[in-house]
Homo-oligomer: A and B are copies of this chain.
């Protein structure tokens, strides 16, 4: 199949597929005599795997490591574990930050009485030491 079909099977744009090939996340596709890239079922699987990782917000660099490690059948899967746990930790840190943020923004949002700029409580808060 050609690139656009792979794209529609996987929900990953053709542009992005080429990009993944560029950075070595996907192997170099076989080319026809016309220079077109041609793909197989296997590529659908690979791309879906990548897409699923992306949904977990795993950075491409880590996804690459996951892809590579899949080839090494008998190795222990500590690397996989680590990536997932680190990701989970990142998410938790982000959650904590967003909580603080939400509280601060809520306070700020509530303080405005829709006055004129020069009396705006929001701006006053933002300027405050």
For A129, the chain B residues whose CB sits under 8 A away are 48
Contacts of A108 in B (CB 8 A): 56, 84
Check B117–A69 contact: CB distance below 8 A: yes
Q: Is the CB of B116 within 8 A of A76?
A: yes
Q: Is the CB of B118 within 8 A of A80?
A: no
A104 and B112 CA atoms in complex are apart in Å by 38
- Per the bound structure, the CA–CA distance linking A73 and B74 in Å amounts to 69
Q: In the complex the two chains form, what is the Cα distance from A101 to B108 in whole Å?
A: 28
Whether A75 and B123, one on each chain, are in contact in the complex, defined by CB atoms closer than 8 angstroms, is no
Chain A residues within 8 Å of chain B by Cβ, number? 50
Bound Cα distance A77, B102 (Å)? 21
B117 touches A74 (CB 8 A): yes
A85-B109, A87-B105, A101-B91 known; A122+B80 contact, CB < 8 A: yes
| A binding-site residues for B, Cβ under 8 Å | 45, 48-49, 52-53, 55-57, 66, 69-70, 72-78, 80-81, 84-85, 87-88, 91-92, 94-95, 98-99, 101-102, 104-106, 108-109, 112, 114-118, 120, 122-123, 126-129
